[in-house]
Structure 1
Amino acid sequence: MKTLERLVIKYILKIIYCLSYIFKIKKRIVFATYRPDYMEGNYKYILDEIKKRNLDYECKILYEKPGAGLAGMLKYLKHMCIAEHYLATSEFFIVDDFYFPVYAVNKLRKGTEVVQVWHACGAFKKFALSTVDENYSNGNEYIKYIPIHTNYTHVTVTSKEVAKHYAAAFNMSEDNIDPIGVPRTDIFFDEKKKEEAKEILYKKYPKLKDKKIILYAPTFRGTGQSDANSGIAFDVDKVVNALGEDYVLAIKMHPFVKWRYEKESDKVVDMSDYKSINDILFITDILITDYSSTVFEFALLDKPMIFYADDLETYINDRDFYYEYTSFVPGPIVKTTDELVDLIKEDNYDLEKVRKFKEKFFDYTDGCSSKRFVDKIILKK
């Protein structure tokens, strides 16, 4: 959508928000997202905790992805209008990314809180308002008319270390940034659930059983869902041919990326359509990525990572990072297929660096982030 179209929608939503004042605020928690079309991640763990405690709240789930063409736009407009009404009439409105209806109003109604449970852990590549001066951003002109990432009353993060970066990204005080942990990481400390997740994976991908799994999980290139793109930066055949028969290369593209690897074999499997990357991490022996925030979750497993960053300079120019990349990443950096193969063959990784990385970016490693969320945000304990 162009800025003019967004402005028209913004004022339609503002009218709906104001008209909704005739309704009382309900004891309701709304989970709103445009990312997946099913319950997953932070939302699933928070909702499970709410149900476990039998809290007296109505829970409403709103997910709808923007559609193509006029019909798709009208359908999404209807979704936003409904969301706007819920925003005006609910105690809690939870989002996990950019969510337009939240920014359509200048000020929230008293009695409503908007909680941002950002979809990524830690703080790696820049996001939200931190990218305004980068090629990745919509730019100042857009933000002038549509004040994105406003109206958040709480933002939950993994540690005090990253609070300042989220405060900058959302132009808010650090006092409203809550380093209580990320609910979806609770599974990393639940051995029973981890084993169940592994069994489901091995049943779906039987050739992975008893193999050493190297997972390639790059981030996307582009500015969002509409133009997200990626591929495999290294020579897959050269890598798998150089490794022993006990290795399998698994590929997991970012959810925004539609591209799939079509030359699967006994040694290469594309798992991009599998919903939970966290589950895949449990069977992964080595992670290869570039600039993906998956590194934070993987660090919880104390396993080695390799960073294939052949376009690092370009990525810095386009988007940049919160930390200096080469000293920040908890693993070796390679830029060619040969360097990657040699490193895997050496099998010599500095896991102490991974552990220090984990300690820096996670204040809690106890599997109780969902409980803290309900206690701190919902129950105000």
Structure 2
Amino acid sequence: MIQTVRLIKKRLEFGNFAYHYWLQPIERNKIVVSTHYGRGYSDSPKSIIAELLHQDFDIVWLVQAGQEKTLPAGVRPVRYGSKQAIRELATAKIWIDNCRQKYSPPKRSRQIYIQTWHGSLALKKIEKDAEKQLCAAYLDRAKRDAKKCDYMIAGSEFCQQMYAESFWFSGEILAAGTPRCDVLLKKDASLLRYVAQRFQTSTTTKFALYAPTFRNGVDGTIYLQDFSKLHHTLQKRFGGEWKILVRLHPNAAALAKDMEYGENILNATDYPDMQELLAASEWLITDYSSSMFDMAIAGKKVVLYTPDLETYLERERAMYFNLEELPFQVTQNEEDLVAQIDQFDEAAYLKKIATFQQQIGSYETGNASAIVANKVKEIIAKE
């Protein structure tokens, strides 16, 4: 009985049962943002907010403990999942998130919720397309979240159709491009200097990024372990000084301590913004991560290292594309990986990238952040 009372009390204070916050007025200039369940300042919401900073907006970012330091001046941190976070959401005009909300008050008719999602294009099937593989709790949250959403942002015709058919979504889809990918299309010398400084390297250093995705119930032995041949080939084939950044998926970040690093192999798992690493890197080596599509938008070099391809396809979700249909070379051992980089034909690669972008109906122009920011300003101006 006591546990039941506590559960009811918790539901009244948090989540979709917090109706008592309706007594507080909506603040027309308040925007409340979250990414990756409070993990910090990143992804498409970061790019959108960058366009709105230092204007007449009260921008609140919901963050986990310790992530406050990632926020720039002009953004007010509030602890993710706290009563204060629920209060901020209840009184905001605009909500922006890149994941399904875990904690939120009931959305009011005058409030607008923009869901950016957290990828430019999916490889693994998601949401309704993977309904049998997703747990009941997530499906319930996803469906409730979808009913609240007013806008989603598509980077391509492919994504626009996916959101319309597979996200339980009936709002408006903005064919704007992917805000988080703008940084890949607009070369920012100051960002390159910042990344070089962060890893204590020269500004002329060239980066290759190794960024595998996570696996369910698999340890880190499946990841590439020896980078010596890869590093040697990059320097021999392309010249200059090279460093390899290793960034594990946030869901597998605990495995980063088991990787071997050195002067030329640097741990980048705790770097807060994946897009900045992609922007600073000339090569991406990944497996099943959607980051491959982000790099393709900028015409940057990608090769897939998939030593567990058969077992991955058996154990994980089905895919929207066969890997062989993608414009990237697929390798399943270290020798083949190194050989593909050594034999890389950039002209043929760029032709494949252009064909693929045309096939998916890409909307990417490098201006997505500004387009969505203007939509935010338009919504608030009408209030």
Q: TM-score range by the shorter chain?
A: 0.7 to 0.9
In the TM superposition, residue 211 of structure 1 has moved relative to its aligned partner by 5.1
Q: Which residue of 2 aligns with 1:71?
A: none
- The answer to whether residue 306 in structure 2 is matched with residue 309 in structure 1 is yes
In the TM superposition, residue 164 of structure 1 has moved relative to its aligned partner by 2.1
Q: Which residue of 1 aligns with 2:89?
A: 87
* Secondary structure at the counterpart of residue 145 of structure 2: coil
In the TM superposition, residue 259 of structure 1 has moved relative to its aligned partner by 2.0
- Summarize the Cα distance change of 1:22–1:298 in structure 2 as closer, same or farther, 3 Å threshold: same
Tell me if the contact between 1:149 and 1:170 (Cα under 8 Å) persists in the aligned partners. no
Q: Which residue of 2 aligns with 1:186?
A: 182
Q: Which residue of 1 aligns with 2:120?
A: 121
- Summarize the Cα distance change of 1:237–1:122 in structure 2 as closer, same or farther, 3 Å threshold: closer
* Secondary structure at the counterpart of residue 250 of structure 1: strand
Q: Which residue of 2 aligns with 1:38?
A: 40
Q: Name stretches of at least 5 consecutive residues in structure 2 with no aligned partner.
A: 67-77
Tell me if the contact between 1:307 and 1:331 (Cα under 8 Å) persists in the aligned partners. yes
- Summarize the Cα distance change of 1:274–1:303 in structure 2 as closer, same or farther, 3 Å threshold: same
- The answer to whether residue 290 in structure 2 is matched with residue 293 in structure 1 is yes
Letter in 1 for 2:24: F
Q: CA RMSD in A?
A: 3.4
- Summarize the Cα distance change of 1:253–1:321 in structure 2 as closer, same or farther, 3 Å threshold: same
Q: Name stretches of at least 5 consecutive residues in structure 1 with no aligned partner.
A: 67-75
Cα distance in 2 for residues equivalent to 1:159 and 1:95 = 19
Cα distance in 2 for residues equivalent to 1:241 and 1:367 = 31
- The answer to whether residue 274 in structure 2 is matched with residue 274 in structure 1 is no
Cα distance in 2 for residues equivalent to 1:96 and 1:57 = 20
Q: Which residue of 1 aligns with 2:73?
A: none
Tell me if the contact between 1:286 and 1:303 (Cα under 8 Å) persists in the aligned partners. yes
In the TM superposition, residue 322 of structure 1 has moved relative to its aligned partner by 4.6
Letter in 2 for 1:213: F
Q: Which residue of 1 aligns with 2:366?
A: 367
**Residues 142-157 of structure 1 mapped to structure 2, 5 A cutoff:** 143=139, 147-150=143-146, 151-157=148-154
Please give the per-residue CA displacement for 1:282-338, whole angstroms capped at 9, x wherever unaligned: 342321111111112211321221111222333334443452322443211111122
Number of equivalenced pairs: 354
Match of 1:255 among 234, 239, 250: 250
Tell me if the contact between 1:129 and 1:149 (Cα under 8 Å) persists in the aligned partners. no
**Residues 2-81 of structure 1 mapped to structure 2, 5 A cutoff:** 9-10=10-11, 12-13=13-14, 17-27=18-28, 28-51=30-53, 54=55, 56-64=56-64, 79-81=81-83
Q: TM-score, normalised by structure 2?
A: 0.79
Letter in 1 for 2:156: S
Cα distance in 2 for residues equivalent to 1:255 and 1:144 = 23
- The answer to whether residue 165 in structure 2 is matched with residue 204 in structure 1 is no
Deviates more, 1:334-343 or 1:253-262: 253-262
Cα distance in 2 for residues equivalent to 1:279 and 1:31 = 20
- The answer to whether residue 231 in structure 2 is matched with residue 236 in structure 1 is no
Please give the per-residue CA displacement for 1:197-255, whole angstroms capped at 9, x wherever unaligned: 11122233355655553321111123xxxx89645533515634763565543312123
In the TM superposition, residue 362 of structure 1 has moved relative to its aligned partner by 6.5
Residue identity (%):
22
Q: Which residue of 1 aligns with 2:189?
A: 195
Cα distance in 1 for residues equivalent to 2:283 and 2:57 = 42
Cα distance in 1 for residues equivalent to 2:114 and 2:164 = 14
Deviates more, 1:81-90 or 1:116-125: 81-90
Match of 1:99 among 84, 101, 114: 101
* Secondary structure at the counterpart of residue 132 of structure 1: helix
* Secondary structure at the counterpart of residue 333 of structure 1: strand
Tell me if the contact between 1:7 and 1:146 (Cα under 8 Å) persists in the aligned partners. no
Deviates more, 1:213-222 or 1:227-236: 227-236
Tell me if the contact between 1:24 and 1:89 (Cα under 8 Å) persists in the aligned partners. yes
- The answer to whether residue 213 in structure 2 is matched with residue 216 in structure 1 is no
Letter in 1 for 2:357: K
Please give the per-residue CA displacement for 1:137-174, whole angstroms capped at 9, x wherever unaligned: 213x764588453321111121222112223442113x
- Summarize the Cα distance change of 1:314–1:368 in structure 2 as closer, same or farther, 3 Å threshold: same
Cα distance in 2 for residues equivalent to 1:6 and 1:298 = 48
- Summarize the Cα distance change of 1:63–1:123 in structure 2 as closer, same or farther, 3 Å threshold: same
